[in-house]
Amino acid sequence: MKFHLPLPLLSLVALLTLSTPSSAFYRGFNIKSNLADGTTCKTTTDYLALLTRLKTFPNSLTSIRLYSTHTCNTLLSAIPAAISTQTQILVGIDIHHANYAAEKGALLRAINTYGWEWMLGVSIGSEDLYRGTISPSDLAAKIYDVRGMLMKTPGYTNDVRVGHVDTTNAWFNASNSAVVRACDFVGADIYPYFQTKQNNSIANAEKLFWEGVEQVKTAVGKASVGRKAGAPSVWVTETGWPVNGATKGLAVPSIQNAKTYWKGVACSTFAKTGKGLNTFWFTIQDWRAVPSFAVLGEEGEVLFDMSCP
C-alpha cells in the first residue's frame, strides 16, 4: 500500500528550517531507491508519502540514509520530499566503476539545484571493503575526490561530513586504516542476527550490538593515531532485527524479537543523552524480502510498538 499525498510547493521557509536536529544525534532510517516490490523506482510522491509517514513515528526521526544518487534518479526525486518534510539526508555514492562518475554528477546537480541545507553528509560506498570490491587505497582516493569536489562547490562548509559505511569486521581490519584516516565519519553496519559464531540470541543481542560499537571505536582510534583531525566519529549506519526468515545461530526472526531489539538498541541509540549515537535503522518497508527487517507491513501497518521511554 502506498500513501499518496499532494506535494506542497517548496518554500523558502522549508529550506531555512532544515538544520541539525534540536537533539544531539541524527535518528532515522535507511531508505532504498525502489518500492517494497524491489523493482519499481520511487518517485517524489513516494518519497513524500514515506517521509510524511516517518514523521508519525515516535522519537522525532528527522533523517534518512540513501544508497545512491543516480540509480532511479534517487537524489533528485528524494530531495523535494525531504525539504517539504524537514528531513535531512545522508547521501550514498555508489562507487562501482560504471556508476561513479554519474553518481558524483547527480550529487553536484542536486546541490546546484537545491543548495546544501537538506544534506547532513555523504557516504562514499557501502560495505565495499567487506566485499573486497575495491582496495583501501582506491577507496580512500574516492573519499578525497568527492570531498574535493564538494569543497569547490559554492556554499560548502565543514559541517558536511564525508565518510564510508562498512561492516564491523572491515573496520577491525588494520589494513583498512587508509580509509579510516580519509573519513570524517565511519559508518558501522552492526547486525547481531548474523553473528552466528557468538551467542546471538535476542536476549544477548543488545550486548553484542554495544560490543560492536565499542570495538569499532577502538579500531578507529588506533587507525587514527597521529591524524591531525583526530579520530573520525563513529555512526551506526545500519542495524535491525528481521521479522521473518531463517534462524541464524541462536537468532530467531520474529516481530516480537524485532520489537525487543528496537526497545533495547534503538531506544538507547536514539536517546538524547547517555549512549546516544547517530543511527540509521534498517529498514522502513521491505516486506517482499526474506529476511525482512521492515517496521511496516505490506499494507503499511506498523508491525510493533516503536515508542521509547
Percentage of the chain with pLDDT > 90?
A: 87
In a domain, 289, yes or no: no
In a domain, 305, yes or no: no
Residue 271 or residue 58, greater confidence = 58
Distance (Å, rounded) from C-alpha 213 to C-alpha 207?
Answer: 10
Distance (Å, rounded) from C-alpha 118 to C-alpha 13?
Answer: 13
In a domain, 290, yes or no: no
Q: Which of 238, 298, 299, 301 is catalytic?
A: 238
Residue 135 sits in a domain whose CATH number is 3.20.20.80
- Residue 98: give the domain boundaries: 12-281
In a domain, 202, yes or no: yes
Distance (Å, rounded) from C-alpha 235 to C-alpha 259?
Answer: 22
In a domain, 147, yes or no: yes
Is the confidence at residue 18, as pLDDT, over 70?
Answer: no
Active site residue 117: no
pLDDT by residue (tens digit) across 89-125? 999 999 998 899 999 999 999 999 999 999 999 999 9
Give 56-102 as a DSSP string. Answer: TSSS---EEEES-SSGGGHHHHHHHHHHHTT-EEEEEE---TTTHHH
In a domain, 298, yes or no: no
Read off the pLDDT of each residue in 269-287 and give the average, rounded to a whole number.
Answer: 90
In a domain, 288, yes or no: no
Confidence class of residue 145 from pLDDT cuts 50, 70 and 90? Answer: very high
How does DSSP classify residue 300? S
Read off the pLDDT of each residue in 121-132 and give the average, rounded to a whole number.
Answer: 98
Distance (Å, rounded) from C-alpha 158 to C-alpha 111?
Answer: 15
Structural domain count, the chain = 1
Place of cell 516490490: 37
pLDDT at position 75 is 98
- How far is residue 8 from each of residues 24, 84, 220, 300, measured CA to CA in Å? 29, 7, 43, 22
In a domain, 304, yes or no: no
Active site residue 127: yes
Cis, peptide link before residue 283, omega less than 30° from 0: yes
Q: Which of 127, 214, 299, 301 is catalytic?
A: 127
Distance (Å, rounded) from C-alpha 120 to C-alpha 107?
Answer: 13
